[in-house]
Each structure stands twice: as C-alpha cells, then as structure tokens.
Amino acid sequence: MAASETKINLPQGFLLGAASAAHQVEGGNTHNNWWFYEQEGRLPQSGQAADHYHRYEEDFRLAHDIGLNLMRISIEWSRIEPIEGQFDQAEIRHYRLVLQSMKAHGLTRMVTLFHWTLPLWLAEQGGWENSRAVEWFSRFSQLVAKELGSEIDLWITINEPEVYSLMSYSYGLHPPFQKSLPRMIKIIHRLIRAHKASYQAIKNILPQAQIGLAKNNVYYDAYTKGAFNQLAVTISNYITNFYILDRVKNYKDFIGLNYYFYHSLQFRLTKGWQVKNQAGPKSDMGWRTYPQGVYYLVKDLYRRYGRPIYITENGIANAHDDMRARFIAEHLQALSQAIVEGVDVRGYCYWSLTDTYEWHDGYGPKFGLIEINFETLERRVRPSAKIFKEIIL
Ligand code: BGC
C-alpha cells in the first residue's frame, strides 16, 4: 500500500492489538459443552485447535514482533471450574503464567470471562436458562478477580450477548441448538443480569478495574432515501445496537465494540424489510466489508454513552490474504477520523491473532494475522501483518 494510505493519525498511547477466545485456539477444552457436542458429531471437532494452550509464549512473541501492544484473550471457565464449585489450582496457575507472558511481551492484557463456552456441569443444568447461572458466573468472576486480577488490565465480562443468544437459541446453530424467540429473549435478559452481577463482583474486589462487555454492532443505512427504509434503520439500531447497552448503562467503564457487519435496509410492502447491500468487497464468508461503518458506530456510541471505546474485534476471513492489510488500514483511518472529531477510542483489536476454530464453520474461515498449519501447528506470519509496522502513528 502507498505510504499516504498507511499514514494514520492515531493518538499517542493508542493500543493496537489482536483478539482470540479460549475454545477457538487453546485446544483440548474437554470440560465444556462445545467439546461434548463435538464428540457427539453435532459440531466440527476442535481437537488441539492452534494448541495455544501450550504455545502461548510463541504466539505472544509473534504478536509483539508484528508490532502489537494489546492482546485480548479469554479465560476458559470450564478449565478453572471443571466440576461445580471446585476450582482447579493448576489451571489458575496456567492462566497466571499466560497473563505474565503477555506482559513480558509488552501486551496490555484484555480478558474476557465468557466467550460462548459453558462448563459441561452448568450446561447439563440448563446453562443460562437456569436462573442460578447468574450467581455461578458471578462466583467465577469473583474468583478470577481474586486470583488473577492483578494481572488483568481490561475486563470483558461477556462476548456478544446478543450474537450468543441468536446463534444458540434462535438460529439453533450453537449449543443448545434451540430455535425459539421467547427463549432467546429470556437469555438476553439473563445475560444482562449476568453482566451486572459479574461487574459488581469484580468491582467489590478491584474497585479500580476497568470493565466492559463486547457488543457486536451492525452499521445500518437506508438502501434508498425514504421514510420506511429510514424507519427500518432506526428500529434495527435500537434493537440490535442499543437495547442491551442501554440496560447496562451504569455498569460499564468502557464500551467494547465488535464490528463486522454493514446492512443497507430496504422496505417493500410485499416483502417487509430486507438487507440489500450495494455491490462491494466481501470476505471469504460473504460478509460485505465497509470500513466507514465503524466511524458512524463509534460516533453514535460516544454520543449516546460518553464512555471510552475499544474496538474489541474487527476482522476478515481472507485465506488469500489479499484484502486484509487494506481492511485494517481503512478501519483505522475511519477510527482516526472519529478520534479527530473528539470520540474517545483507545484501542483496536484485530480478529484474530491466529487462524481459529470458527465455531460451527470449523477450520474453514481464515481470519488470522498468523496462519496456522493445523496438522503440524506451524505458525507463519501472513504478509498483511506487516501493516501494523507500516502504519505511521
Ligand atoms: C466472535 C468470534 C468469531 C468472530 C468471527 C465474533 O462474533 O466473537 O468468536 O470468531 O465473530 O466469526
């Protein structure tokens, strides 16, 4: 890319990083509900994944070498609490070493507590449908705060409560494979309570902790001008983007934004509302990329909530690696524009550091800055990862 395209005006101290989630990279997460259904043949096998559980040092060294200074990981609840009420000291020690290694590699540590996998004992008791799940999650949060809190810089309680609820309770693609709107709505409200309880549990131990949740917001616009298209945008914005955040208003020190989707909406009397994107670049998963969307989203979030913002995920499945560098640069350009206009955006995590187990899509989609050979577990930094060093802050 030309130097003019990589000259991005980001403030001093802006954090540039990457994200991951335990079940998608660690391997061998045998005590959670995903693993259970994988063995049943209902989901692709995650197996040893990227073996990040054993190779975290190497991964953090590569992250540092690429030029990153922020890393978002998740702690696997089922490792810490494989049996109800019993906490595994060896796993707590493991995560302490992981967090210390991040620090040693110059990475600010952002940690997610629930990134979609449940301990099997909890799933067997109904998962989030069981009202006690809130109390159990709060106990787990408290334990992590006590044992590991001094090694955590930024906290994310829950990753994408609405996407989790949609995939697991409406689309039926993720465990427990339900297709029920009322149950989905119930789970969303349960997760709102879980977030608040977790926030409080952490704050009780670490009053200074910086805590947020990661929210997947979609950038909507009207396909063509017109009152109905615009109404569709307003309603979608409220339901998808603001409903949950409004309900946790006083329980967030920052906003974590996951940005992947752009939808242009059209209303037709015969068909209702439809997504009608104009032609444009698409990822290997068919997701239309639209960097400018992140500018509008952070502007809206800041206007509405006035809290600092971290981009907790933004990424592209791109096996040929021919779109990734531009994708990253253009999103950072859009963020820089918002920052110049006064929006307090403090950091950016690309999804993902390495190739991952992409949930029900298995090992197909390639999001990584680092390519993983899932047979040999060899790491190879993709050429696009150079972008972080080329960006002139
Ligand atoms: C999730 C990640 C996932 C990514 C790409 C996000 O919604 O948080 O776990 O891998 O999207 O599909």
Rounded to the nearest 5 degrees, what angle is found at the Cα of 264, between the Cα atoms of 263 and 270? 115
CA distance 97 to 32: 22
pTM above 0.75, yes or no: yes
Q: Is the CB of 21 under 6 A from ligand 1?
A: yes
pLDDT value of residue 277:
85
For residue 315, give the ligand 1 atom closest to its CA: 5
CA distance 136 to 133: 5
pLDDT value of residue 269:
85
Give the Å distance between the CA of 351 and the centre of ligand 1: 8
Give the Å distance between the CA of 92 and the centre of ligand 1: 25
Tens digit of each residue's pLDDT (9 = 90 or more) over 55-67: 999 999 999 999 9
Tens digit of each residue's pLDDT (9 = 90 or more) over 132-142: 999 999 999 99
CA distance 109 to 214: 15
124 is catalytic: no
pLDDT value of residue 218:
98
CA distance 343 to 64: 27
Give the Å distance between the CA of 259 and the centre of ligand 1: 10
Q: Is the CB of 358 under 6 A from ligand 1?
A: yes
pLDDT value of residue 181:
97
- Residue 278 φ/ψ, nearest 5 degrees: -65, 155
Prior bond of 176 cis (ω within 30°): yes
CA distance 192 to 41: 31
Annotated catalytic residue, options 26, 81, 91, 160: 160
Q: Which of 353, 369, 345 lies closest to 9 in space, CA to CA?
A: 345
Q: Is the CB of 216 under 6 A from ligand 1?
A: yes
Measured between alpha carbons, how far is residue 352 from residues 166, 213, 302 in Å? 22, 18, 25
Q: Whose CA is nearest to atom 3 of ligand 1?
A: 358
What burial letters (b/e) apply to 253-292, b meaning 16+ CB within 10 Å? ebbbbbbbbbbbbbbeeeeebebebeeeeebeeebbbbbe
Q: How many CA atoms lie within 13 A of 311 on its CB side?
A: 33
Give the Å distance between the CA of 225 and the centre of ligand 1: 32
Q: Is the CB of 159 under 6 A from ligand 1?
A: yes
Q: Which residues contact 155 (CB under 8 A, 6 or more apart)?
A: 110, 111, 113, 202, 209, 210, 211, 212
- Mean pLDDT in runs of 10 for the chain (393 residues)? 79 96 98 98 98 98 97 99 98 99 98 99 98 98 98 99 98 98 98 98 98 98 94 96 97 98 92 88 96 98 98 98 98 97 98 98 98 98 96 70
Q: Is the CB of 317 under 6 A from ligand 1?
A: no
The one-letter amino acid code at 286 reads: G
Measured between alpha carbons, how far is residue 41 from residues 124, 360, 363 in Å? 18, 11, 15
Testing ligand 1's pocket by substitution, the residue of 25, 217, 357, 359 carrying the most ligand atoms inside 8 A of its CB is 359
Testing ligand 1's pocket by substitution, the residue of 29, 112, 313, 367 carrying the most ligand atoms inside 8 A of its CB is 313
Q: Which of 378, 282, 362 lies closest to 322 in space, CA to CA?
A: 282
Q: Are 72 and 19 in contact, with CB atoms under 8 Å apart? A: yes
Tens digit of each residue's pLDDT (9 = 90 or more) over 213-244: 999 999 999 999 999 999 999 999 999 999 99
Give the Å distance between the CA of 226 and the centre of ligand 1: 33
Taking each helix axis from N to C terminus, what angle separates 133-148 and 89-104, rounded to the nearest 10 degrees? 60
Q: Are 60 and 105 in contact, with CB atoms under 8 Å apart? A: yes
Q: Which of 22, 18, 207 lies closest to 114 in space, CA to CA?
A: 22
